[in-house]
């Protein structure tokens, strides 16, 4: 499964350029942030199945998939009030995964820090409520060194390939900057390859990876 997450930037001046660059990566699953009504038409046809939180004025999370999005849910995690998250299950042949697409508010002041924490705690509740192999992706508005990581996954169920020094924001400082954009996967899954993608006019670089089921882990689990 080829996965790409990208904050498209709500002020993007040439979204067609970004859309074409994403299409060249041939993703099976796209997780986009800051998708406004003006930007949505440029990305909505990249894959056949989609879900989008169109409520936030500064753009919402959008998921596009090669496969149907089953048991689709958009919700405000915990007591967070500004942005919704998206949960969906995806079946690819014999394999089934769960996706949590997220974009918490940036923790810039006391109220936004509280909202950010509530959002992450709400994602944590969903993460641990189901044992289906899970992918959590999007603009987390925190890097891997943040103390706030404990609110998301204190049991360390997920892992990723996101070195703290590979910044995705602001794109102009690349390869410096902050690694705010992530693709985290369950330990029943394997990351075959992962890298950052060019910003193509956004203020964020994207993050791309190829994921597959770890058959050794599945075999061990099924034989216990």
pLDDT at 216: 52
For the entire predicted model, the pTM comes to: 0.93
d(CA 60, CA 7): 10
The parent domain of residue 58 ranges over: 2-223
Supply the CATH number for residue 30's domain. 3.60.10.10
pLDDT at 57: 85
Number of domains observed in the structure of the chain? 1
Tell me the average confidence (pLDDT) per consecutive run of 10 residues in the chain, 224 residues long: 97 96 97 97 97 91 98 92 94 93 96 95 96 97 92 94 84 85 94 93 96 62 38
| Torsion sign across C-alpha atoms 144, 145, 149, 153 | positive
d(CA 78, CA 155): 19
């Amino acid at each position: 499964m080829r996965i790409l997450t990208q904050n498209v930037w709500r002020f993007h001046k040439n979204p067609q350029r970004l859309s074409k660059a994403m299409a060249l990566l041939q993703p099976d699953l796209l997780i986009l942030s800051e998708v406004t009504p003006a930007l949505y038409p440029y990305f909505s046809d990249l894959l056949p199945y989609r879900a989008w939180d169109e409520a936030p004025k500064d753009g919402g999370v959008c998921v596009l998939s090669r496969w149907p999005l089953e048991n689709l849910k958009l919700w405000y995690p915990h007591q967070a009030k500004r942005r919704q998250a998206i949960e969906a299950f995806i079946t690819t042949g014999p394999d089934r995964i769960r996706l949590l697409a997220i974009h918490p508010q940036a923790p810039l002041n006391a109220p936004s820090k509280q909202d950010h924490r509530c959002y992450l705690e709400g994602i944590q509740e969903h993460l641990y409520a189901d044992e289906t192999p899970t992918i959590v992706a999007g603009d987390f508005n925190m890097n891997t060194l943040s103390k706030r990581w404990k609110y998301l996954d204190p049991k360390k169920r997920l892992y990723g390939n996101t070195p703290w020094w590979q910044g995705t924001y602001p794109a102009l400082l690349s390869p410096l900057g902050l690694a705010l954009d992530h693709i985290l996967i369950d330990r029943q899954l394997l990351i075959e390859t992962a890298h950052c993608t060019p910003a193509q006019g956004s203020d964020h670089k994207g993050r791309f990876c190829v994921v597959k089921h770890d058959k050794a882990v599945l075999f061990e689990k099924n034989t216990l």
